[in-house]
Amino acid sequence: MTTLTLPFPSGRGAGTKRFSILHFLNAFADGICHGVELARRYDTLTAMSDSELARIGLRRQDIPQATLRGF
């Protein structure tokens, strides 16, 4: 039998406060890196011409969705 344990919303189940702060900072830094990657991907696609986008199966209006999907 498998037991599923969920942490308390207050963070009490996360151990000491120092570790929960480090976890938050790590997640924050990961979010920033992900955002920078999305911006780079978006800039790369918007710099392409319409014919280059068509070659990879995209239209200009598809760029935001393709950016989020990781095209």
Question: Is the confidence at residue 1, as pLDDT, over 90?
Answer: no
- Residue 37 is predicted with a pLDDT of 96
Query: The domain containing residue 61 runs over which residues?
Result: 31-71
Which tens digit of pLDDT belongs to each residue from 8-33?
565 555 555 667 888 999 999 999 99
Query: In the chain, which residue ranges form alpha helices assigned H by DSSP?
Result: 17-46, 50-55, 63-69
Q: Which pair of structure tokens corresponds to residue 55?
A: 């070659």
The residue assigned the tokens 């498998």 is 2
Decide if 4 is inside a domain: no
Cα–Cα dist 5/23, whole Å: 18
pTM over 0.85: no
Which tens digit of pLDDT belongs to each residue from 18-71?
678 889 999 999 999 999 999 999 999 999 999 999 999 999 999 999 999 986
Number of domains forming the structure of the chain: 1
Decide if 58 is inside a domain: yes
